[in-house]
Structure 1
């Protein structure tokens, strides 16, 4: 029996979330936000918390500084049912702070202080022992950990597949300048690739935003076994060599979209663990992403599986 259902590899940050922030706020001397909160965040962290609240045994694998900010992150994370024993505390690492400005329409922008904790993480930090201990490895996300570009990430994924681990990978933006297609040699080891529409467009170099199938085919041609493109309010597209589903999202009043893509990935992973079909898993993931957008913060709204099931019964799909 595996020790973990899921190990979530990737980024961990301290989020300061401010709501009702106008998009032109930096053109003014002072702007008054609607409300604020402090929470853990980062793709892997959000996925781990969602998975844990849905009843899975989840470990978070990341590197974190021993500074005050890192201590605050650990303290906040202790409130969630996530195994933190794999978090590597590094005295030479500077922890990450992210200010999340939520705009009146619920969309958000990030202002980040990256520090250097991601530059200090190597493929050797992900041991064979850890990979052998889990059913699923999620990566949150490609491009968010500069050191784990190219060979470093492909080595981790190659070893995961060698041990029979299912690999589920999210994607971010190349803010660190790793270069286009830095992960071309990784896709062959990815079971489920889950980018957003904009991330898929950038990675595939397909400028026509309507050519979603073309974007999915690009990842499939690179070797990914299954591709799910998150389409926000339009749901998601699932595609592999034999299946294609366009799954609509749920109709909601959007409060805050922070972490919705991560909630989607976490919920899809949970549904996959339960043995649901691809179509059922996408519908469940859509519901989780939509439900997350009805509250504030990256992972504070979803509390358990039944909450998502009730949401699915109570809301129409668009």
Structure 2
């Protein structure tokens, strides 16, 4: 693969966000919302979309079904300039749909299909021979595709390291009760790791940010970035330990946090490609997430790198 900056591996699904929702909805037989529509979702395609819009070339390695939702994803990817030659179309799969129920404060819960592509995509969907020619490999979320287990990830990461690629990895809470022990070998290959606080605390059994980060560093992760929501992100490696603050929002502005973490990672990776420092990459990641949460859906907010730069300029006035 030539002229590619990033290879994104992980989920490509369809989100149907519902906003705003609350317990009051169940007091009605039918309740109207302002908008119910299909939107792109899934960590890998979210990252691929935003990193591409920030000015980089991205190849998406994922799997979808040969169905309407799969076609929606493929057409979206091609329209947005994502390289799709390794986006597998599997006729035995049903493309996963996620129903995202978003409260007025931006917090959300997902309802997903246990038999969809999210659960059925494994190592056989990844063309290992094509893991080359890029600067960064991003595993969009450990645990999100349960079949991409430790052994599968080690296989992928070994190939990336042979190709001298930087490895980034996000995570979600385990779906099948997996523990830190189940992924510790794979983590040893990761250069930049992006859990959020709740995920990392649950996985490590610790509640102190520094101690959580040390657990991952001791396993061989080179840089740990723990997303702490409205506070920003906590970064730690062998030479730095600090909080990089989030961009504060006007309380009157409606926000949707779906995909905020994916946007943070995308902004971070974009700056990493520009050889910026860990702190600078985290700051740009926070700015990218700040843009994203002002729009409904994971990929509706960020349109260009200039938009994120404008967010930074306006914030620093």
1:248 — aligned with what?
Answer: 245
Contact 2:6/2:134, CA 8 A, preserved across alignment: yes
Moved more, 146-155 or 177-186: 177-186
Moved more, 46-55 or 154-163: 154-163
**C-alpha deviations, 1:72-114, integer Å up to 9, x for none?**
2223333312111110111111110011111111111111114
1:214 — aligned with what?
Answer: 211
- Cα distance in 1, alignment partners of residues 209 and 64 from structure 2: 36
Structure 1 residue runs of 4+, over 6 Å off? none
The alignment's C-alpha RMSD in Å is 1.8
2:88 — aligned with what?
Answer: 88
SS of 1:37 mapped into structure 2 = coil
Structure 1 portions without partners, runs of 5+: none
TM-score (norm 2): 0.93
- Cα distance in 1, alignment partners of residues 26 and 228 from structure 2: 29
Contact 1:149/1:178, CA 8 A, preserved across alignment: no
Contact 2:13/2:118, CA 8 A, preserved across alignment: no
2:179 — aligned with what?
Answer: 180
Change (3 A) 1:79 1:39: farther
Report how many residues are paired.
Answer: 313
Contact 1:21/1:31, CA 8 A, preserved across alignment: no
1:224 — aligned with what?
Answer: 221
- Cα distance in 2, alignment partners of residues 233 and 137 from structure 1: 27
Change (3 A) 1:25 1:223: farther
- Cα distance in 1, alignment partners of residues 158 and 187 from structure 2: 10
CA displacement at 1:28 relative to structure 2: 5.4
TM-score (norm 1): 0.93
- Cα distance in 2, alignment partners of residues 117 and 59 from structure 1: 19
SS of 1:132 mapped into structure 2 = coil
1:63 — aligned with what?
Answer: 63
Structure 2 portions without partners, runs of 5+: none
**C-alpha deviations, 1:151-173, integer Å up to 9, x for none?**
11111112211210110000012
2:38 — aligned with what?
Answer: 38
- Cα distance in 2, alignment partners of residues 287 and 75 from structure 1: 28
CA displacement at 1:118 relative to structure 2: 4.0
SS of 1:148 mapped into structure 2 = coil
